[in-house]
Each structure stands twice: as structure tokens, then as C-alpha cells.
Amino acid sequence: MTKNKQTLTITIDGKKIAVEEGITILKAAEKAGIYIPHLCAYKDLIPHGSCRVCSVRVNGRIQASCVQTVSEGMVIESDTAELLEYRRMIVDMLFVEGNHFCMFCEKSGHCELQAMAYRFGITAPQFPYLNPNRDIDLSHPDVFLDHNRCILCGRCVRTSQELDHKNVFQFVNRGHKKRLEVNAKGLAETDLNVTDSVVNACPVGALMKKRVGYEVPIGNRPFDHASIGSEIEKTEGERK
Amino acid sequence: MGTRKYTILPVTRVEGHGKVTIHMNEANEVTEARLHIVEFRGFERFILGRPYWEVPVIVQRLCGICPVSHHLAAAKAMDRIVGGEDLTPTAEKMRRLMHYGQMFQSHALHFFHLSSPDLLFGTDGTALSAFDAPPEMRNILAVAGKFPELAVQGVMMRKYGQEVIKATAGKKIHGTGAIPGGINKNLSIEERDFLLKDIDKMIEWSKSAVKIAKDFTLGHVEELLPFGSFDSNHLSLVRKSDGALDLYDGVLRAVDKDGNRIVDDVDYQRYLEVVSEEVRSWSYMKFPFIKKLGHEQGWYRVGPLARLNTASFIPTPLAENERKEFKAVTNGKPNNVTMCYHWARMIELLHSIEMIQELLHDSDLQGTDLVTSGPRREETVGVLEAPRGTLFHHYRVDKNDAVVMANLIVSTTNNNEPMNQAVKRVAKDHFTGKSNITENLLNRIEVAIRAYDPCLSCATHALGKMPLVVELYDAGNSLLDSKIRE
């Protein structure tokens, strides 16, 4: 027997919003046209809470809005100078931790990490580059995995499991040694298919379809004219 | 006084960084003069392992002046990897438009921003020789002060070329237009009309640029003929069917100093049968030569002067008329005068804008058939005529799409020996017997190098900075004098 969901009232950045119980702060904000920046949260996958870009203050405490569900009377702060600075630092660290060369990356203009940096006004990193030595797996006939660009968001791990019902990707090691691996010697030995949902799940240029790079001209790419999150921030009238 | 060695570091108003050393003996005779390229870039190494479709976008980062050359040479190579070398008319014409836009902006940049101070202030009566402009006048700001209209033309012509590139590649610098087997966009009617708006003005300005270069050359013939000049072979692509000047595609042709064809109608996929590269310990830039003549006799010039020497004609009317005048000076024989590069370059500028005009009126540019493909290949060569000369890109790609071998022979590399010859000639003619090397004499060396419009960063594939230094050493190899320009 399903219980009727109750409607709760929460406040985000001073705006009172009526929301359904049980949903996350991130989803509730989206429904109300408020964009909370995020990277690892993706579609209806089970939230991961790993990138921390979506951190907000909930009744004074910092929480990841993609995993925290709403409760009555919650007071949430998102668009504050303090949180914006934290988010910038996180994005900045993601850039220097890998090898992100936007200038020739085929994901440029489509990349959520790059778009996030533009939205935050990041023009150059404030931390030193780590320049890790990472490889690229081109063994699969139709899909490639460039570890240089991986930000460990886990979208591929979860999409493969939850939507494709496969188990192509996994994390190995812990802490700063954590990395993405495929459950075989290389992508070619897995049951990954180019039509799998996971091929479109990567927010950056790590997991990509082969031989289609740069087909969309500059000027027509998703983030050439609209910043990330602007779709959510449109008023109801604009969305129609 | 013992032997001396001068070093010019850095060589100024060229793209990238170079160094010149001049050795003189006890009798103040020049014994050796060299242009050293001390930058190292390593593109041939770090594209290894990358997927082939990234290459046209990565390698153009070699340069910010003519990135389109590398973009297109690599794309032409990758066309063959995907079996798509027979491009659709829209794709080929869009690429050509991009290339002529680049040729136009690069030639304008070199002539107006980098070289015009040498040419303009030597000719206005304030200087005794073509090269005696005072140092404080040798810059684009001085040109803007004295010849404001001309300076504006230079800036606007470069801008026009950049707009052509933007319309075809998406960005003025480092765009993405060419993809393996084609192009990613056509030219919209709005883009076409925007470019057509100023085309007549650009043609007029290009004609007057040719006139400036021609008047300068013919007005100083006696001084310019021997200046940094020497006989050489000349190499370029020419159009396959009729030997016409073709900057985007064609077959290899080389002529000797008298115009005899030593290489003709050679498919550039076979370039290794024609050219080889020699390594010398004192420079990061290799020395290419025509194989059958050996490295002593086989070195050659490339670029605007070489192209006017190899091509049978220019397929646009205004530039062809100018070419005929240019050829008449040497009675139809190859022109071996270093300073004539400027005149030849401006004739190509005019040709490029004529080609742009022709293409803008071609409705194929609004076509929608953009990409083609065929049987896959593993090895490929892409060659075109870049603003500074013939550009070779050679790659091997494995079955997983990874680049496993890359060799780039960049335009300026082809001109390595010629630039060294020019430096040697100027040093011998102007330094011999002089115990004190003045700034003005050093400038003459640079004027000779600048004629080739070298792009030193491209040519060494640059890690770090290399400013121009001239050093003077004595017979015991101890440093007597050094001039440095940052």
C-alpha cells in the first residue's frame, strides 16, 4: 500500500518552496527553478555524494544536496559567497588533479567540468598541476577511455550497473590513489556496447564514443551560448 | 685582435626565438655564420598514443600565426586514414577558403607588422640605405605614426583573414573546422554576405601592398640584389593538371637555380623518396635536402619566392599579371634574390584574396554534404603550402585508432639552410674588415632572416623561451662582445 506523499515547506536562499517529502534538496531546488551546481549527480541514478560541488548549508551545516532529503522547515543556503568559493576550489582541484587540456579536447563545449569553470569565472587554476602519468584505453572498437580526464564522479560505474545492468566499471584503490578501472584487461574485453547508456554518461571527456570528435562546429555546442544550469534557471514561461 | 664570435639573441620580429653566431678571424674575416634554433617542442612525440581525430586540433597548437596550416595538413593526412581523401565539393572548398583566409592574414601580418618598418623607413629619404632606418623607428608603432593609413590597412587586412578563418573553423585561432574526411560546417548566407561586404576594399588594399613591395624592390635593385642572396633549388606543390600555383593541394615540383625541373609531378605520399633530413649538432632544427642531389647540393628554398619560381602560372588574373612582372625582372628564370620574398609574398596575398572572392561566390559552400569516407589506411601523408612554405605531415595509425608514428617537416625547417646561407652572405659582405659590429649591422642580419618570415617555434616542434643574441668570439674562442635583445 502506498502512502500519499506529504507536502513540506523548505526555504532555499530565502525563497519558501513547497516540496514533496522524500526527494533530495538538489531535486527540490531544480523543480523550483533553482540551480545548485553538481557533477556526480546524474539523472535518476542513486546519488553518490562524491564530488561535493553541490554542497549547501542546511540549517547551518554543510551537506551534499544530492544525497540529503528534505524535511519540514529546512533552511538551505546555496548561493552564498562562501559556498561559491568552496565550489570553485573543488572544481579547481579537479582540474589540477588530472590532465585536462581543454584547448584540444573534443569534449570542449560539451564538457560539464569546463562549463562549471566558466560559470564560476575560473580562468586559471590556483593550485599547482599534479601532471599525473595516466593512460588511454583505445582497445574497444567504438568507445575509448582516457584516464587523463577522469574526475572519479562514478557516473559510469553507476550508469553501467543501474541503467545498462552491466558492471563494466569499478573504482580501485583508496584516497589519492583511487582510480577508475574496467572489469577486464581493457574495454575491448568487457561487454560494453556503443549503444549502452553509459557511453553518454561521462560529464567530461574520459569516456567517449570514437571517431565523432569535433563533428559539432564551434558555436553550435551546448555550452557555447548558454551556461551550465541556465536551463534550470529559466522561468517557467521560458521553459515552455 | 684575435678571432671573434658575435651572437644575436634573440632575433627579433620573427615568430619564435632564434640565435645567430658569427665567427671572425684575426684578419676580421667572417669564417662561419649560423642561425641556431634553440627551442624544442616535441609535438611529434606527445601525439603518440592519441586518437587520430584529435591530431588536426592538437598539432595546430604548434603556432598561433598559421595554425590553420597544421590543422589542414593533419586533416588531409587523416582524410586518408578514413579513406575520405576525395572530399565533397563543399568540404574541399570550405577548407580552401579557410586556407586562403589564413594565407591572407599571415602574409599581411608579416608584411605590415613585422617587415614594413625595414622597408618603409629605408625608402623615405631619411635613411641612406634600405636598411638604415634608426632603431627606434623599426616597429609597427612608428609605422602607425608616420603612415597611419597603411598601418590601419595592415591591421584590417589581418582582421579580414581572421574573419574568414572564424567563418570556416568556428574561431579566429585554433578552431575545429576540418575533421577526418571533411568539414564540420558549411558557410551560411549571413557569413558569406558579411565577408563579401569588404572584399572589394581588400582587393584594392592588396593591390597597393603589391605595389609597395614592388616599388621598394625595384627602387633599391642594386642594394637588394646581392643582399643575403645566393643561388638555390626551389621546391613547392603545384597543381597536378597544369603546374599552376596551388596552395592547398597538388604534386611536388622542384627546380634548380636556372629553372630546370629536378623533381616534377611527384605524388606527395612519396615525399620520402624525394626529400631527406640532416641533423646538425648545433641546432634543434633539421636540414632537409633533395635526396638525389645529396645534402651538400640538395638543399632548397620554400615559401612565396620558391612558389613563384616553381609554378607555371597563377590561376587568378590580378596576381598573374603581377607574377609576369615579377618574372620579367629575371627574364623568366628563377629569382634567387632573398629580399624578393617580400614582393612574392604580396603577390600571393593578392592571389589569396582573389581566391577568397571566387569562393565566396560559389554556392557549393552552402552545400550540406560535408563528410566522406572509404577503405581504411594505416599510413598517411598530408602536405600543403603554408604561408612560409611546404608543410609535410606524416603519420601511422594503428587498428585501435592510436597514432603510432609522426613526422613533421615544417615550412621553416625547409628554409633552414637558405636562412643560414643568407646570414652567412650578409655577415661576409657587411662584417668583413670591421672590428666593431654596430647595431645597424646586426639589423642587416635580421632583415635577411625576416625575409623568409621564419616561424621558429613551429620549426622545432618551444619548450621555454629563446630570445635573439649575437656574440663575438676571438680566435681562442673567448667572448669579446655580445648583444642581446629580449
- CA-based nearest residue in chain A for residue B49: A136
Is the same domain home to A55 and A147? no
Q: Spell out which residues of chain A touch residue B180, defining contact as CB-CB under 8 Å.
A: 211
Q: Do A144 and B54 touch (CB under 8 A)?
A: no
Is the same domain home to A60 and A96? no
The single residue listed with the C-alpha cell 598573374 is B320
pTM for this prediction: 0.92
- pLDDT in 10s for each residue of chain B, 486 residues: 577 787 877 676 565 667 888 888 888 888 888 888 755 677 888 899 999 999 999 999 887 788 999 999 999 999 999 999 999 999 999 999 999 999 999 999 999 988 888 888 764 444 456 677 777 777 788 888 888 999 999 999 999 999 999 999 999 999 999 999 999 999 999 999 999 999 999 999 999 999 999 998 998 888 889 988 999 999 999 999 999 999 999 999 999 999 999 999 999 999 999 999 888 877 777 889 999 999 999 999 999 999 999 999 999 999 999 999 999 999 999 999 999 999 999 999 999 999 999 999 999 999 999 999 999 999 999 999 999 999 999 999 999 999 999 998 888 889 989 999 999 999 898 888 887 777 777 788 888 888 988 876 454 433 333 345 666 666 666 676 766 654
B173 in contact with chain A, both atoms CB, cutoff 8 A: no
- Scored b (16 or more CB within 10 A) or e, B409-434 reads bbbbbbbbbbbbbbbbbbbeebbeee
In a domain, A168, yes or no: yes
Is the same domain home to B31 and B90? no
B61 in contact with chain A, both atoms CB, cutoff 8 A: yes
Q: Do B53 and A106 touch (CB under 8 A)?
A: yes
- CA-based nearest residue in chain B for residue A217: B184
Q: Which of A202, A113, A192, A193 is nearest to A155 (CA)?
A: A202
Contact A13, A29 (CB under 8 A): no
Q: What is the pLDDT of residue B464?
A: 32
> Residue A16 is part of a domain; what is its CATH number?
3.10.20.740
The 10s digit of each residue's pLDDT in A111-139 is 999 999 999 999 899 999 999 999 999 99
Which residues 62-121 of A are in CB contact (within 8 Å) with B? 103-104, 106
Distance from CA of B352 to the nearest CA of A (A): 25
- CA-based nearest residue in chain A for residue B175: A218
Is the same domain home to A108 and A23? no
> Domain boundary at B414, B445, B463, which?
B414
**Rounded-to-integer distance, Cα A116 and Cα A93, Å:** 13
B194 in contact with chain A, both atoms CB, cutoff 8 A: no
B68 in contact with chain A, both atoms CB, cutoff 8 A: no
- CA-based nearest residue in chain B for residue A188: B400
What is the count of structural domains for chain A?
2
B171 in contact with chain A, both atoms CB, cutoff 8 A: yes
The 10s digit of each residue's pLDDT in A157-208 is 999 999 999 999 999 999 989 999 999 999 999 999 999 999 999 999 999 9
B54 in contact with chain A, both atoms CB, cutoff 8 A: yes
B64 in contact with chain A, both atoms CB, cutoff 8 A: no
> Domain boundary at B414, B436, B459, which?
B414
DSSP-assigned beta bridge partners for residue B455: B15
Domain range holding A71? 7-78
Q: Do B51 and A215 touch (CB under 8 A)?
A: no
Is the same domain home to B295 and B248? yes
Is the same domain home to A130 and A179? yes
Residue to test with chain A: of B171, B190, B400, B403, most A Cβ within 10 A: B400
B177 in contact with chain A, both atoms CB, cutoff 8 A: yes
Single-letter amino acid, residue A108: S
Which residues 392-411 of B are in CB contact (within 8 Å) with A? 400-402
Q: Could you tell me how many CB contacts below 8 A there are between chain A and chain B?
A: 53
Q: Do B53 and A103 touch (CB under 8 A)?
A: no
- CA-based nearest residue in chain A for residue B170: A218
A144 in contact with chain B, both atoms CB, cutoff 8 A: yes
Average pLDDT, chain A: 95
Q: Do B185 and A217 touch (CB under 8 A)?
A: yes
Average pLDDT of the segment spanning A58-75: 97
Is the same domain home to A72 and A114? no
> Residue B203 is part of a domain; what is its CATH number?
1.10.645.10
Is the same domain home to A21 and A127? no
In a domain, A216, yes or no: yes
Residue to test with chain A: of B52, B81, B184, most A Cβ within 10 A: B184
**Rounded-to-integer distance, Cα B200 and Cα A29, Å:** 56
Is the same domain home to B308 and B364? yes
- Scored b (16 or more CB within 10 A) or e, A45-63 reads bebbbbbbbbbbbbeeeeb
> Domain boundary at A18, A53, A78, which?
A78
Q: What is the pLDDT of residue B16?
A: 62
B172 in contact with chain A, both atoms CB, cutoff 8 A: no
Distance from CA of A38 to the nearest CA of B (A): 28
Residues 6+ apart with CB under 8 A from A63: A25, A55, A56, A57
Nearest-CB residue to A217 (from B170, B401, B402): B170
DSSP-assigned beta bridge partners for residue B244: B313
Q: Do B49 and A216 touch (CB under 8 A)?
A: no
Q: Spell out which residues of chain B touch residue A138, defining contact as CB-CB under 8 Å.
A: 51, 400-402
Q: Which of B472, B475, B466, B484 is nearest to B427 (CA)?
A: B472
**Rounded-to-integer distance, Cα B285 and Cα B276, Å:** 13
**E strand intervals along B121-219:** 178-179, 182-183
Is the same domain home to B268 and B395? yes
Q: What is the pLDDT of residue B413?
A: 86
Is the same domain home to B347 and B437? no
The complex scores an ipTM of 0.93
Is the same domain home to A210 and A171? yes
Is the same domain home to B351 and B481? no
Half-sphere CA count of B172, side-chain side, radius 13 A: 9
Residue to test with chain B: of A138, A142, A209, A212, most B Cβ within 10 A: A138
**Rounded-to-integer distance, Cα B468 and Cα B9, Å:** 2
* pLDDT tops 90 at residue A145: yes
> Domain boundary at B363, B394, B414, which?
B414
Is the same domain home to B157 and B240? yes
In a domain, A60, yes or no: yes
Q: What is the pLDDT of residue B462?
A: 33
User: Reduced to 3 states, what is the DSSP secondary structure of residue B288?
Assistant: strand
Is the same domain home to B170 and B300? yes
B57 in contact with chain A, both atoms CB, cutoff 8 A: yes
Q: Do B400 and A138 touch (CB under 8 A)?
A: yes
- The DSSP symbol for A163 reads I
B49 in contact with chain A, both atoms CB, cutoff 8 A: yes
Phi/psi at B262 (5° precision): -100, -20
Q: What is the pLDDT of residue B463?
A: 34
Is the same domain home to B207 and B66? yes
**Residue B486 in grid coordinates:** 629580449
A1 in contact with chain B, both atoms CB, cutoff 8 A: no
Is the same domain home to A52 and A114? no
In a domain, A214, yes or no: yes
Q: Do B179 and A138 touch (CB under 8 A)?
A: no
Is the same domain home to B351 and B424? no
Q: Do A210 and B51 touch (CB under 8 A)?
A: yes
Q: Do B184 and A103 touch (CB under 8 A)?
A: no
Is the same domain home to A74 and A109? no
Is the same domain home to A23 and A135? no
CA B348 to chain centre: 12
Is the same domain home to B371 and B441? no
- The DSSP symbol for A200 reads G
Is the same domain home to A35 and A140? no
What is the count of structural domains for chain B?
2
Distance from CA of A222 to the nearest CA of B (A): 14
Is the same domain home to B373 and B405? yes
**Residue B104 in grid coordinates:** 591572407
Nearest-CB residue to A214 (from B50, B176, B402): B176
Domain range holding B28? 4-41+419-485
Is the same domain home to A54 and A132? no
Dihedral angle sign, alpha carbons of residues A30, A36, A41, A42: positive
CA B394 to chain centre: 19
- CA-based nearest residue in chain A for residue B52: A211
Q: Do B50 and A144 touch (CB under 8 A)?
A: no
Distance from CA of B185 to the nearest CA of A (A): 6
> Residue A180 is part of a domain; what is its CATH number?
3.30.70.20
> Domain boundary at A33, A58, A78, which?
A78
